[in-house]
Amino acid sequence: MRVIISAAGTGGHINPGIAIANKIKEEEPDSEIMFIGTSRGLETDLVPRAGYTLKTLEAYGLKKEISLKNLMNMIKTARSTGLAKKYIKEFKPDVVIGTGGYICGPVFAAATSNKIPSILHESNAYPGKAVKMFAKKATEVLVGFEAAKDRLTMAKKVVVTGTPTKVKKIGLTDTRKNELARELGLNLNLPIVLAFGGSQGAKVINDAIIGMLKEGKISNYQLVWATGQKQFDIIDEELKKYNMDISNLPNCKALPYIYNMEEMYALSDLIIARSGAMTVTELAITCKPAIFIPLPSVGANRQEDNARVAEKLGGAEVILNSDLNSESLSEKLDRLTRDKKLLERMGEKMNSLEIKDVEEKIYREICNVVKK
């Protein structure tokens, strides 16, 4: 099978594309797979690191305001369709797959003009305008949440497959639990809360936690806090103003980044995080309740939509970005961590979002489209 995958921008777009590529190679080792992205996003690092060829072109999101920059970006995106056609003509794919980002615009337009079957994967619970536009061109649309189907009525065919992720649910032996607790300075008799805001951290989450530390509000539970690598030193300096040492915080272990996320999910009782599709999928798989702080968006509020799906099921509670502070976060943490049974029930309800055999379902749909 010869496959082109278009993915650009964030890990939430690129990692599902890589997971799909890996599944195709697992099933059909002789397959040829090429990625198309931009020269600006994480794809320039993640795709070559995964062992795949990356071709680039210029694509930009459409913005409402009228400006010379916006006009130039629209022209560059339109011109990129010609380059996408060149890539497709040279590679001769059996199918083109898009996993997100405005890169899908010129690539799907080129695939349609060359009569190449195309598949779009949408990870979020409620697709935005751009996805709806691309969905019209796709042979088939695969979605990560059941809730997405109702908003893609313009698509020819929509199949709920789930979103592929590397994270799996694992169990920790008592020995490993004790080792992790010692490494992190944790007491296994107190609830453990894991807080993170993505690889770069989330300043609003970090600020709320700093406020809680300053006010001495972390007492009935323990916090493992991934600050983000770029923010760790900044937070260190901020805490020093209040005579606090980032390496010796009360009931709190601060880390720049967490590399063993599967183990940390298994160790934790509650998660504080943004609500990107990948994070929600991971928490569904690992049965973890959450306090979601959706990343706000000027356009479609995809993260809030994702969070509300989990909240409606009873698997999470939501604090809007504009409402987050040390007081609002502390109130939810105190209430939730005092009720172990409630957290267990929330974890079970979060797990109801999990879709099994995601990669297998996606691979099967790809094969069906190629055969047709």
Nearest partner of 38 among 101, 89, 121, judged by Cα: 101
pLDDT of residue 10: 79
Alpha carbon 152 to chain centroid distance? 21
Report the alpha-carbon distance of residue 235 to residue 231 in Å, rounded. 6
Is residue 340 packed enough to be buried (19+ CB in 10 Å), middle (13-18) or exposed (0-12)? exposed
pLDDT in tens, 111-129: 999 999 999 999 998 887 7
pLDDT of residue 3: 98
Alpha-carbon dihedral sign for residues 96, 102, 106, 108: positive
SS (H, E, C) 345-356: HHHHHHHCCCCC
pLDDT of residue 36: 96
pLDDT of residue 103: 82
pLDDT of residue 126: 86
Nearest partner of 41 among 62, 56, 63, judged by Cα: 56
In sequence order, the 6+-apart residues with CB closer than 8 A to the CB of 123 are 12, 13, 16, 99, 100, 143, 144, 163, 277, 278, 281
Name the 3-class secondary structure at 167. Answer: coil
End-to-end CA distance of the chain: 14
pLDDT of residue 61: 61
In the chain, what are the domains? 2-162+355-371 (3.40.50.2000), 174-351 (3.40.50.2000)
pLDDT in tens, 127-156: 877 778 888 889 999 999 998 998 898 899
Alpha carbon 236 to chain centroid distance? 27
Per-residue confidence of the chain (372 residues) as pLDDT tens digits?
Answer: 999 999 988 788 899 999 999 999 999 999 999 999 988 888 999 999 999 999 999 776 656 566 666 666 566 666 778 899 999 999 999 999 999 777 888 899 899 999 999 999 999 988 877 778 888 889 999 999 998 998 898 899 999 999 999 899 999 999 999 999 999 999 999 999 999 997 778 999 999 999 999 999 998 999 999 999 889 999 999 999 999 999 999 999 999 999 899 999 999 999 999 999 999 999 999 999 999 999 997 556 789 999 999 999 999 999 999 999 999 999 999 999 999 999 999 999 999 999 999 999 999 999 999 997
Report the alpha-carbon distance of residue 53 to residue 50 in Å, rounded. 9
Burial code (b: 16+ CB inside 10 Å, e: under 16) for 92-106 equals: ebbbbbbbbbbbbbb
pLDDT of residue 71: 62
Tell me the pTM.
Answer: 0.86
Cα–Cα separations (whole angstroms), residue 106 to 139, 203, 226, 267: 16, 34, 37, 44
